[in-house]
Amino acid sequence: MTSPFTPGITAGRLTPETLSSNFSDLHAPYDGHEASVAADRCYFCHDAPCMTACPTDIDIPLFIRQISTGQPQAAARTILEQNILGGMCARVCPTETLCEQVCVRETAEGKPVEIGRLQRHATDSVMASNAHPFTRAPSTGKRVAVVGAGPAGLSCAHRLAMLGHDVALFDAKPKPGGLNEYGIASYKSTEDFAAREAAWLMQIGGITLHTGRKLGVDVTLSELQSDFDAVFLGLGLGAVNALTCAGTDRHGVSNAVSFIEELRQASDLAALPIGRNVVVIGGGMTAVDAAVQAKLLGAENVTIAYRRAQDAMPASLYEQELATAKGVRILPNVMPVAIHGNGTCAEIELEYTTTEGGTLKGTGETTRLPADQIFRAIGQTFVPAGTDGPALEHGKIAVDATGRTSIPGVWAGGDCTPGEDLTVVAVAEGRDAAMDIHTTLTGEA
């Protein structure tokens, strides 16, 4: 199938068999023996640096010891007590820059204990048993609205339900999961894992999911404040930054977030059109995910164009190396100045850049790349519409250390608040806000 507007963008470049192989699990899960061998490499450090580096404070030496002694489900409980989305975080968390980077084995040998894969082994074992390791406390009679069923909202909802509160979980999308469902590269989360994890999480009971309900359109914050004892906002980031160069309105130019969402929800990868020459503008995780998946769909040439030096890219070195290993070219120190073509994009013109005194400047020298499809991945922004006025900080909802906003009875967490936009950070913020909501509503620590 070829688009009438974009002649170079065609579906079915690769066979279904090749696509299935391309989008299979990035890392095969450990079997029992492999997990035992990997766990035996852990020194079980006192005051382990890996624990300090984990945003959710998982007792990593304990869960690895439990695996080494043949207790993967006990290990899963240790993980899930701190991070109820430990299964997804094991797949997408940048362990190479967090827990594994500070592993003593990494320092001594240049090869850390594979904490992420061990965490996946443990959490997969408990999900495979279809058992839920936690039971719900007696009802408190309190009702809490959680807006946004992404990592922060799911984490908050689960902890509140476990503590005995009744939770109404609202989300604008038709499925829960947020970026776990709609924004993660398919080869990182296979076999519909995000949906399965969300369903498993809600086995705790006490959580009623309301999909297709957007804050500010289908429900207002003031209504939720009237109907519930507390409100948690886990809204994520609702807008994608736009390119400012000429020609961005040409066919074939779109945002990487929408491309990844379409790919994640596609029932047939062979039906997804992809260009021959794809250029992704940006340098973060979204840019890498879009570029790699474009290559896996059958694009012949894929380039990530980043405005600064490659060592300044927000994407980790591991992600950069993954991209290049899949055949993606990384072109640093360039910024777009024009997109050329007759109604559809055919070329992108890039200006070389330099940094002087910390300031990025164009050099005046340009180059052109063939480009029949261009994705922008230059960041996302929070859209405050519908939040009815919590104070903002740096364009996001301002919160204190417990997640409280400037509005009494309203908490927030995740990407809509200042801080790192990581799944594992969102989980921690949702969990901690839930604990503060519980204390506020009941007076119990």
Q: pLDDT tens for residues 36-62?
A: 999 999 999 989 999 999 999 999 999
Is the per-residue pLDDT at 4 higher than 60?
no
Q: What is the mean pLDDT of residues 314-322?
A: 95
Token duo for residue 401: 């250390």
Compute CA distances 256 → 159, 279, 281, whole Å.
33, 11, 9
Question: What pLDDT is attached to residue 7?
Answer: 61
Helix, strand or coil, per DSSP, at residue 443: coil
- Whether 2 has a pLDDT exceeding 90, the answer reads no
The whole-angstrom separation of Cα 279 and Cα 155 is 36
Rounded average pLDDT over 262-288: 96
* Alpha carbon distance 67, 70 (integer Å): 5
Length of the chain: 445
Q: Which helix (H) or strand (E) holds 339?
A: strand 334-340
pLDDT computed for residue 321 by the predictor = 97
CATH 3.50.50.60 fits 240-376, yes or no: yes
Q: What token pair was written down for 192?
A: 């519909």
* Alpha-carbon span 295 to 286, nearest angstrom: 14
Distance CA 186, CA 195 (A): 13
* Cα 215 versus chain centre, distance: 21
Token pair, residue 398, equals: 């301002």
The pLDDT score that the predictor gives to residue 1 is: 44
User: Which pLDDT band holds residue 6 (cuts at 50, 70, 90)?
Assistant: low
Q: Please tell me the predicted confidence (pLDDT) of residue 3.
A: 46
Lowest mean pLDDT among 10-14, 18-22, 178-182, 311-315: 10-14
User: Residue 8 pLDDT more than 90?
Assistant: no
- Span 396-423, average pLDDT: 96
Distance between CA atoms of residues 103 and 328, nearest Å: 30
Q: Is the dihedral of CA 404, 407, 411, 417 positive or negative?
A: negative
pLDDT band at 100 (very low <50, low <70, confident <90, very high): very high
Tokens of 25: 């699990």
Per-residue model confidence (pLDDT) at position 127: 94
* Residue pLDDT, tens place only, 281-292: 999 999 999 999
Domain 143-238+382-442 sits in CATH at 3.50.50.60
Question: Which amino acid is it at 276?
Answer: R
Contacts of 211 by beta carbon, 8 Å cutoff, 6+ apart: 149, 171, 173, 174, 175, 176
What proportion of the chain, given as a percentage, has pLDDT over 90? 92
Domain boundaries, the chain: 32-128, 143-238+382-442, 240-376
- pLDDT over threshold 50, residue 5: no
CA 116 to chain centre: 15
How far from 284 is each of 100, 151, 290, 435, CA to CA, in Å?
20, 19, 10, 32
Q: Report how far residue 357's alpha carbon sits from residue 319's, in angstroms, rounded to the nearest whole number.
A: 28
| Fold agreement (143-238+382-442, 240-376) | yes
- The hierarchical CATH code for the domain 32-128 is 1.10.1060.10
225 pLDDT band (50/70/90 cuts)?
A: very high
Burial grade of 233 (CB within 10 A; 0-12, 13-18, 19 or more): buried
Q: Which of 133, 196, 137 is nearest to 161 (CA)?
A: 137
Q: How much is the pLDDT for 137?
A: 97
296 and 326 Cβ atoms separated by less than 8 Å: yes
Instruction: Annotate 91-124 with b (16+ C-beta within 10 A) or e (fewer).
Output: bbbbbbebbbbbbebbeeeeebbbbbbbbbbbbb
CA–CA dist 110, 105 (Å, integer): 7
pLDDT-based confidence at residue 131 (cuts at 50, 70, 90): confident
Q: Which residues contact 67 (CB under 8 A, 6 or more apart)?
A: 35, 36, 39, 75, 118, 121, 122
| CB 442 within 8 Å of CB 416 | no
